[in-house]
């Protein structure tokens, strides 16, 4: 599902009569707040759906696929999503 498909689905089936523009703004606000929560608390949980955690990746050895020379990949951070049991069972 794309962002536009999500906006259309919510705008079509909402009981508040929100327009597509208002729906788009609400969705953007929701995702911005999730992003802020992950950044500040390093975790965001939505019961029945799943949890997003910040995960630290260590520096590691790699290989440049073009030259086949060994390289060092820097340490970095990423976000990991773990689905809830309810979501897993609904699939």
Domain coverage including residue 58: 3-90
| Residue 13 clears pLDDT 90, i.e. is over it | no
Q: How far apart are CA 56 and CA 90, in angstroms?
A: 30
CATH of residue 56's domain is 4.10.520.10
| Residue 16 clears pLDDT 90, i.e. is over it | no
Residue 7: C-alpha distances to residues 27, 62, 64 (Å)? 8, 40, 41
Alpha-carbon Rg of the chain, whole angstroms?
A: 19
Residue 56: C-alpha distances to residues 42, 84, 87 (Å)? 11, 22, 25
Q: How many domains does the chain have?
A: 1
pLDDT, tens digit, 9 for 90 and up, residues 18-76: 889 999 999 999 999 999 999 999 999 999 999 999 999 999 999 999 999 999 999 99
Q: Measure the N-to-C terminal CA separation of the chain; round to a whole number of Å.
A: 16
pTM: 0.75
């Amino acid at each position: 599902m794309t962002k536009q498909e999500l906006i259309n689905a919510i705008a079509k089936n909402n009981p508040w009569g929100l327009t597509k523009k208002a729906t788009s703004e609400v969705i953007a606000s929701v995702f911005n707040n999730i992003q802020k929560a992950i950044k500040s608390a390093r975790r965001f949980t939505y019961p029945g759906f799943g949890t997003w955690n910040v995960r630290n990746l260590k520096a590691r050895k790699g290989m440049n696929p073009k030259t086949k020379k060994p390289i060092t990949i820097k340490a970095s951070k990423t976000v990991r999503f773990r689905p809830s049991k309810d979501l897993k069972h609904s699939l």
